Amino acid sequence: MGEHIGKSTFSEEERKAFVQHLIDDVQSLEQMIAEGMIENDIVRIGAEQEMCLVNGDFRPSPKSMEIIKEVNDDHFTTEFATYNIEANLDPYTLEKDCFAKMEQQLRKLMDKVKETANEHGVMIILTGILPTISKEELGMDFMTPIPRYYRINEVLKAWRGNDFSLRIKGADELSLHHDSVLFEACTTSFQLHLQIPPDDFIKSYNWAQAISGPVLGVCCNSPLLLGKELWRETRIALFQQSLDTRVWTKAVKEQVARVGFGEHWQRDSVAEIFKQDISSHRILLTKPITKGSLHVLRDGKTPKLEALSLFNSTVYRWNRPCYGVGNGKPHLRIENRYIPSGPTVIDEMANFAFWVGLMAGRPETYDDMPNVMDFRVAKLNFFRAAMSGRHTVFSWLDKTMTAKEIVKKVLLPIAYNGLRKFDIDEKDINRLLGVIEARTKSGTGAEWQIKNFRELKKQMKLDSAIVQLTKSMYNNQETQTPVHQWRPISGMAKTKESFQWVRQVMSTKLMKLYEDDYANLAIAIMQWNNIHHIPVENGKGELVGLLTWSHIEKFEKLDKKEAKVSDIMVKDVITVEPRTEIETARKMMHDHQIGCLPICVDTHIVGIISKVDL
């Protein structure tokens, strides 16, 4: 996401030229494949590490630009949000100690950025979704001020025609509208790259699709969003919905999502995948290109396929085909985009070795996936894994298998063979795949988060629970212990938190009445639940009043069977916003002699704060 698009004007003239460059790039790629120009005698691995920045309260810290500037290292780049940073690792040849070398570089880069971040009072956390991200950090003021990001947001919003909708159901349900693509910034991943020889690309790509579900199932690390317990890997649903430009109509019509798993097995060459994507998705970004790829090829040089690469960076397949040039030679690779960031560097390296081992060790049985497995089975396995993680039941060939069975009996043996095939050091193979084996048996990062989140919620308010959870995740990461060895939070000393905003202490589980409810029902509800004040909404879900016990007593003589809530409610309600300071709220309640304050976003109530909360 971090690359720049130069001095683009996004003009119609530039767009016209870009379209031709895109068509030429596909032709150039086909020509290079036909003439055997694509590198096929070496296999390399690479990765991109996305990370979250948090302040002393373990909430998002928007300081990426300052930190990247001071680190002054080309490995680091920006992301959509100012509280995320990406580190691009160097490519390594798949051999001997490559995983040890990559792990060493990743730790070095992490130490380097941590050192600079600490000078700004900022800490680094590796997690698929940062539990403490709130709606406030998803506004445009948190978008990294780079033209590329603003352009993506503008164009996707224009195509969508209205706000983006988000609806994810897990143990809880999250439903809301949002007006920018910044929800995408909630998701941080550890993206894996593997170079593939052109003649094996389609077999490898289909195999990568087939194993996605089971691999994801044992790597989940994103179960929470905005305080809700959703999918084990909520990133999958969130990323898909936050960049969805499809316009829904009353007619049933086929539309391909910009973020997706794919629609079918691939059959021809990598060029066909690019053609499908160009045919299915509109051009999102353009840039000026000085020399076309066909001209570069005629000059006997290697083209960068700039138009195709830029277009491809805006189509978000979970397994993405990529073209690149390294040391003057063109190559093809598969980018695995579904693995979450964290919980620790050792967990991430284990995920990497597991995936690469599986890709390298593919048995001949799986060379022709269209005749081995129905594509919809592979796709369903992937989304089931995102929802249920390690507890998923998969369809595999003609069997039904649990995640534990498929990893232990089918996939781990393939991964061991694959890594040995490339002469990877035996101690690294056993160390990294041993982590996968232990995690499959004991539990993923997502499970650790959920278990501890549920326990913390029994002891404290939601906001405090997610802060304590995030703090504990950070402390555990610093020990560099893999997640299957993390202990439960219970019994840990709870540090004093600095409460500043009403959203940190408000009650969010709200009972509500409607203005046309009868007064006798309202009174009964308040008595049954022992509550002294209850918000009143209209049919549009907007706050229109407040019913309080002291107010009801003033209408003692009123016939409660005939009277409506609208007859006895307080209509002139004093409200505050989630980001109102607690001291301000306390003073307002004192000055107006009221026992509670509804907390609203626009006209919609999202919480309530009472004297008890204060």
Residue with tokens 């219970």: 490
Confidence grade of residue 492 (pLDDT, cut at 50, 70, 90): very low
Q: Give the mean pLDDT of 593-612.
A: 86
368-372, 399-403, 495-499, 504-508: which range is least confident on average? 495-499
Helix axes 234-242, 375-388, angle to 10 degrees: 110
Identify the three-state secondary structure at position 51: strand
What pLDDT score was predicted for residue 305?
98
On whether the CB atoms of residues 49 and 109 are closer than 8 A, the answer is: yes
11 CB-contact burial (10 Å; exposed 0-12 / middle 13-18 / buried 19+)? exposed
On whether the CB atoms of residues 574 and 588 are closer than 8 A, the answer is: yes
Residue length, the chain?
A: 614
Phi/psi at 351 (5° precision): -60, -40
Q: Can you tell me the distance from the alpha carbon of 96 to that of 105, in angstroms, rounded to the nearest whole number?
A: 16
Q: Can you tell me the distance from the alpha carbon of 226 to that of 248, in angstroms, rounded to the nearest whole number?
A: 26
Q: Can you tell me the distance from the alpha carbon of 416 to that of 408, in angstroms, rounded to the nearest whole number?
A: 11
What pLDDT score was predicted for residue 256?
56
- Of 150, 142, 145, 166, the residue nearest 59 (C-alpha): 142
Question: Looking at the predicted structure, is the pLDDT value of residue 243 above 90?
Answer: no
Question: Looking at the predicted structure, is the pLDDT value of residue 308 above 90?
Answer: yes
Q: Give the mean pLDDT of 591-606.
A: 87
Amino acid letter at 393? V
In sequence order, what E strands does 111-189 have?
Answer: 123-125, 164-169, 173-178
On whether the CB atoms of residues 454 and 318 are closer than 8 A, the answer is: no
Tokens of 45: 């691995």
Q: Give the mean pLDDT of 104-116.
A: 98
Confidence grade of residue 63 (pLDDT, cut at 50, 70, 90): very high
Measured at the alpha carbon of residue 160, what is the angle toward residues 159 and 164, in degrees to the nearest 5?
145
Question: Looking at the predicted structure, is the pLDDT value of residue 42 above 90?
Answer: yes
Q: Can you tell me the distance from the alpha carbon of 181 to that of 227, in angstroms, rounded to the nearest whole number?
A: 20
Q: Can you tell me the distance from the alpha carbon of 167 to that of 154, in angstroms, rounded to the nearest whole number?
A: 22
What pLDDT score was predicted for residue 510?
82
What pLDDT score was predicted for residue 248?
43
- Of 358, 93, 233, the residue nearest 350 (C-alpha): 358
Helix axes 98-119, 426-442, angle to 10 degrees: 70
What pLDDT score was predicted for residue 563?
86
Q: Can you tell me the distance from the alpha carbon of 455 to that of 490, in angstroms, rounded to the nearest whole number?
A: 7
Question: Looking at the predicted structure, is the pLDDT value of residue 341 above 80?
Answer: yes
Question: Looking at the predicted structure, is the pLDDT value of residue 253 above 50?
Answer: no
What pLDDT score was predicted for residue 245?
53
Q: Is the dihedral of CA 593, 598, 602, 604 positive or negative?
A: negative
Identify the three-state secondary structure at position 463: helix
- Of 65, 27, 386, 26, the residue nearest 232 (C-alpha): 386
Q: Can you tell me the distance from the alpha carbon of 574 to that of 545, in angstroms, rounded to the nearest whole number?
A: 10
Confidence grade of residue 207 (pLDDT, cut at 50, 70, 90): very high
Q: What is the DSSP string of 349-376?
A: HHHHHHHHHHHHT--GGGTTGGGTS-HH
Read off the DSSP letter of residue 564.
Answer: B
Q: Can you tell me the distance from the alpha carbon of 511 to that of 262, in angstroms, rounded to the nearest whole number?
A: 42
Q: Can you tell me the distance from the alpha carbon of 154 to that of 172, in angstroms, rounded to the nearest whole number?
A: 31
The total of other beta-carbon atoms located within 10 Å of residue 594's CB is: 18
pLDDT digits (tens, 9 = 90+) for 357-413: 999 999 999 999 999 999 999 999 999 999 999 999 999 998 999 999 999 999 999
Strand 259-260 to 316-317 pairing:
parallel
Q: Give the mean pLDDT of 193-211.
A: 98
Q: Is the peptide bond before 145 cis (omega within 30 degrees of 0)?
A: no
The total of other beta-carbon atoms located within 10 Å of residue 6's CB is: 12
What pLDDT score was predicted for residue 225?
95
Residue 309 or residue 490, greater confidence: 309
What pLDDT score was predicted for residue 209?
98
Question: Looking at the predicted structure, is the pLDDT value of residue 497 above 70?
Answer: no
Strand 44-54 to 84-88 pairing:
antiparallel
Residue with tokens 């002054």: 72
Average pLDDT over the chain, rounded to whole?
91
pLDDT digits (tens, 9 = 90+) for 154-187: 887 777 666 667 889 999 999 887 777 777 778 9
Q: What is the DSSP string of 66-115?
A: HHHHHH--TTEEE-SBTTEEEEEPPPEESSBTHHHHHHHHHHHHHHHHHH
Confidence grade of residue 7 (pLDDT, cut at 50, 70, 90): low
Percentage of the chain lying above the pLDDT 90 cut: 68
Confidence grade of residue 2 (pLDDT, cut at 50, 70, 90): very low
- What pTM, to 2 d.p., does this model score? 0.87
Question: Looking at the predicted structure, is the pLDDT value of residue 250 above 80?
Answer: no
On whether the CB atoms of residues 53 and 84 are closer than 8 A, the answer is: yes
Residue 459: which residues within 8 A CB-CB, separation 6 or more? 465
Element (H, E) at 15: helix 12-34
What pLDDT score was predicted for residue 171?
93
pLDDT digits (tens, 9 = 90+) for 533-565: 899 999 888 999 999 887 777 777 777 788 888
What pLDDT score was predicted for residue 34?
97
Phi/psi at 211 (5° precision): -90, -5
118-127, 213-222, 246-255, 286-295: which range is least confident on average? 246-255
Q: What is the DSSP string of 194-244?
A: EEE-GGGHHHHHHHHHHHHHHHHHTT--B-EETTEE--TBHHHHHHHHHT-
pLDDT digits (tens, 9 = 90+) for 426-481: 999 999 999 999 999 999 999 999 999 999 999 888 999 999 999 999 999 999 99
Q: Give the mean pLDDT of 47-60.
A: 96
